[in-house]
């Protein structure tokens, strides 16, 4: 009986193992197909950026150019003023991300770790910001910035990015903050730590994984944003990559290869940042899901 039971058990284990291998195989195949569809647009854009107008319209979209136009990249970087636009995008994105994550952390800290009368109302007001369409605010913002002499000023862009990203950033941080252990903070208070030291030296470092996740999400939005820059900025010296692409679109001719090169330059920083910080993103999401 024992031998038969053992044989039956081993047979079931083998069948289960075989079934799991089949399921995993199907999953890997599906993921590989999804990965191909995700990577394909980047490869197509890269080939597109190495063509001239004749090759863009006369060759197959998937064809490799016979004489790659690498000069398209030099042209947009030097003649197209893309270097200035790239620098502006980096500055606006970094400053806005730092301000947004820091301010959102302060708001979340006061709502979840401090007891005061209007905490829930304040949180509700920030969450209302998630329901306000960006385009409905352009006219009021333009009027306000005009009165403050901030039109065609980088400060208008940084303020807009920070304000509109605060609600989603607070929502990302909220669940993590609510479940942080209070024992560490209580011990710090017993040792005489002030509220500022408690926040900057104790609480803020403990939330670094979820801050990295929020920072990446903010960075992607800020880097790809178009409407605010196109509305509030008119000088070339303050434009970003997303708006600068319009310089290659003329009334009679359009340099499609230059546009492709500009788009390729614009996506490289985001790809690199995601590859470098992907582990931090996964840690932040996992930490928030486990603690929440």
* CATH for the 79-291 domain, from 3.40.50.150, 3.40.50.300, 3.30.70.20, 1.10.3720.10: 1.10.3720.10
List the chain domain ranges.
2-48, 79-291
The SS3 assignment for 249 reads strand
| pTM for this prediction | 0.81
Q: List, for residues 128-168, the tens digit of each pLDDT value.
A: 988 888 888 999 999 999 999 999 999 999 999 999 999 99
Write phi, then psi, for 249 (nearest 5 degrees). -105, 110
47 neighbors 59 (Cβ within 8 angstroms):
no
For residues 58 and 62, give the distance between their C-alpha atoms in angstroms, rounded to a whole number.
12
* Structure tokens, 188: 């710090």
Percent of the chain past pLDDT 70, that is, above it, reads 88
Instruction: Please give the average per-residue pLDDT across 198-219, as a whole number.
Output: 87
| Selection from 222, 214, 219, 221 nearest residue 285 by Cα | 214
Residues for the chain: how many in total?
292
């Amino acid at each position: 009986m024992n031998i038969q039971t053992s044989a039956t058990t081993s047979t079931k284990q083998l069948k289960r193992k075989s079934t799991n291998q089949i399921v995993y195989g199907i999953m890997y195949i599906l993921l590989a197909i999804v990965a191909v569809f995700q990577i394909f647009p980047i490869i197509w854009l890269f080939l597109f950026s190495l063509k001239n107008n004749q090759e863009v319209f006369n060759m197959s979209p998937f064809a490799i150019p016979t004489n790659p136009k690498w000069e398209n990249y030099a042209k947009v970087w030097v003649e197209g003023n893309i270097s200035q636009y790239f620098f502006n995008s980096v500055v606006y994105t970094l400053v806005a991300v730092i301000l947004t994550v820091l301010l959102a952390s302060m708001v979340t800290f006061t709502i979840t770790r401090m007891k005061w009368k209007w905490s829930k109302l304040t949180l509700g007001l920030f969450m209302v910001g998630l329901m306000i369409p960006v385009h409905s605010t352009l006219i009021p913002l333009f009027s306000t910035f005009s009165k403050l002499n901030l039109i065609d000023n980088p400060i208008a862009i940084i303020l807009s990015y920070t304000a509109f990203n605060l609600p989603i950033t607070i929502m990302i941080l909220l669940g993590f903050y609510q479940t942080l252990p209070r024992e560490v903070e209580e011990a710090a208070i017993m040792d005489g730590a002030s509220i500022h030291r408690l926040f900057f030296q104790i609480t803020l470092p403990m939330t670094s994984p979820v801050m990295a996740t929020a920072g990446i999400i903010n960075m992607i939005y800020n880097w790809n944003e178009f409407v605010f820059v196109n509305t509030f900025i008119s000088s070339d010296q303050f434009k970003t990559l997303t708006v600068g692409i319009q310089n290659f679109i003329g009334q009679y001719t359009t340099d499609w290869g230059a546009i492709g090169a500009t788009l390729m330059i614009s996506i490289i920083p985001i790809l690199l940042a995601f590859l470098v910080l992907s582990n931090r993103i996964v840690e932040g999401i996992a930490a928030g899901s486990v603690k929440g």
